[in-house]
Amino acid sequence: MATPLTPILTAHWDDPDSFTIDGYSRHGGYDALPKALAMEPDAVIGLVKDTGLRGRGGAGFPTGLKWSFVPQNDGKPHYLVVNADESEPGACKDMPLLMANPHALVEGIIITCYAIRARHAFIYVRGEVPHAIRRVAAAVREAYQAGHIGTNIHGSGFDLDVVVHSGAGAYICGEETALLDSLEGRRGQPRLKPPFPAVAGLYASPTVVNNVETISNIPYIIRNGVDWFRQFGTEKSPGFKLFSVSGHVRSPGVYEAPLGITMRELIDYAGGMREGSELKFWVPGGSSVPMLTAEHLDLPMTYEAMAEAGTMLGTATPMVFDQTVSVVKTVTRWLEFYKHESCGKCTPCREGTSWMTGLLETFEAGHGQESDLQIIDDICHQIAGRSFCALGDAAATPFPGAMKYFRDEFVAGTHTSADDAFNPVASTVLAGASTR
């Protein structure tokens, strides 16, 4: 029996005005707000804690717990910063959400700020998506006009300002402390922790940084309660999740399903593999998590099951690759991305990614030295766990994962180029195999 899809955040994306305040309100939007404002802030935090909601940005940190770290009555301003810097290769869930349902985020922000006693929220949107920035900015404007944001919101005495901030196009700025530096007008590079943002974040004040999807969950949780939320998913991975399925499936897109759904089911929802296509490998959560193969298709997509399989759920944005794809080329492309996006602060990531990329390119071109495979593996180990932030760890992930299942392809890279072994056209829609 297939796990049913659970359209909640995505329920009304087909409405022509889903992104407007009217479209949102028509389906109960902004009903959660008065309910939350009638609660004690700590009760809101408690409720979110009870749902077991985990951060949807990749790390899966319990959201309510994060909020509870913010010291109260400390006399300092508090800030909520929404991380909408989605830039992970393969991840495409936050941008559609911002395009189709920005008011869920806005309502979530208001409730969250009320809970953590923040009077100022920032939405940090990656700079390359002006259309999404316009949507969010318009939603914020509408919410101001409706009195959901501003001073003395609906007579509650609660004041809030929301600022939409455009990033300048750096993957590192998705790392929460680098994001804060960028937001403060500095060069985006990760900060030393401790102090953690909950204690000294934006402008050295207590700050909560949450992912778009995480915050967008909040209105639905307030509206429907803990038990409703926990009916989805598993004990350790409660709730529903946006899965953006991309690659060699017939209908790539965002599918909202309970955590615990399997990849096989998701591929089915996405119309199955494209014509004549056979699954070769897939990654559950963007390029930063180790790859899996067909043998893992029936594992539940939960934080815990993915960890057990030696990978991570990450952003839950699976990429699906069929037999036409060169693993060497894929891993090389990913590493080129990490090399390009390495912020340069720490030595392992700065030097390791560029060295590794240089070596991988020799394999892609078909003149790699087999002994270099050991060096690349060493480089990964010299980065993993030693870089300043998790982005270095991410860069060290693809190669060992690929070597586990496809060592032969790398060895073939000592004499045959990736393009000779895998016709690049065959993996594209131009191959003649219809994707729909």
Partner 1 sequence: MTATIPVPADSSPPPVDGVSITVDGVPMTVPKGTMIIRAAEQIGVEVPRFCDHPLLDPVAACRMCLVEIEGQGKPQPACAVAASEGMSVKTQRTSEMAELAQRGVMEFLLINHPLDCPVCDKGGECPLQNQAMEHGRSESRFDLEKRHFDKPINLSAQILLDRERCVSCARCTRFSEQIAGDPLIELFERGSKQQVGIAEDRPFDSYFSGNTVQVCPVGALTSSQYRFRSRPFDLVSVPTVCEHCSSGCGLRTDVRRSTVLRRLAWDTPEVNEEWNCDKGRFAFAHAATPEFDTPLVRGDDGILHAATWPEALERVAEGLADARGRSAVLTGGRLTLEDSLAYSKFARAVLGTDDVDFRARPHSTEEADFLASVVAGSGLGVTYDQLENAPVVVLAGLDPEEESPIVFLRLRKAARKRQLPIASIAAWATPGLGKMFGTLLPTAPGAEGEALSALARGGDTLGSDGRRIAALLNEPGAVILVGERLATCTGALSAAAALAHTTGARLAWIPRRAGERGAVEAGLLPGLLPGGRSLADAQSRAEVAAAWGVSVDDLPTKVGREVDAIVEAARAGAYNALVVAGVDPFDTRRPDDVIAALEAVPFLVSIEVRPSAVTEFADVVLPVSTITQRAGTFVDWEGRTRVFGQVFRTSLALTDARVLAMIADELDRPVGRQDVAGMRKEAAALAPSGSGRREVPSVAASSVSASSGQAVVSTWHHLLDEGTLQRGDDDLAATARTAVARVSAATARAAGLTDFVTLSTDAGSLDLPVVVTDMPDGVVWLPTNSHNSNVRRVLGVDHGAIVSLASGGGA
Ramachandran angles phi, psi of 406, nearest 5°: -130, 40
Best CA proximity match to 82, nearest among 52, 120, 33, 25:
120
Rounded to whole angstroms, the Cα distance separating 92 from 315 reads: 9
Minimum Å distance from CB 126 to partner 1? 15
Minimum CB distance to partner 1 smaller for 90 or for 190 = 190
Minimum CB distance to partner 1 smaller for 71 or for 358 = 358
Minimum Å distance from CB 352 to partner 1? 6
Do 148 and 106 meet the contact criterion of CB atoms below 8 Å apart? yes
Rounded to whole angstroms, the Cα distance separating 14 from 370 reads: 52
Minimum CB distance to partner 1 smaller for 16 or for 194 = 194
- Tell me which residues touch partner 1 (CB under 8 A): 170, 172, 187, 192, 339-355, 358-359, 375, 378, 381-382, 385-388
Minimum Å distance from CB 55 to partner 1? 21
Minimum CB distance to partner 1 smaller for 328 or for 349 = 349
Minimum Å distance from CB 130 to partner 1? 22
What's the distance, Cα to Cα, between the start and end of the chain in Å? 25
Minimum CB distance to partner 1 smaller for 252 or for 348 = 348
Minimum CB distance to partner 1 smaller for 197 or for 239 = 197
CA atoms within 13 A on the CB side of 428: 5
143: exposed, middle or buried (Cβ count in 10 Å: 0-12, 13-18, 19+): buried
Minimum Å distance from CB 292 to partner 1? 24
Best CA proximity match to 320, nearest among 330, 329, 306:
330
Do 57 and 91 meet the contact criterion of CB atoms below 8 Å apart? no
Rounded to whole angstroms, the Cα distance separating 33 from 307 reads: 36
Minimum Å distance from CB 360 to partner 1? 11
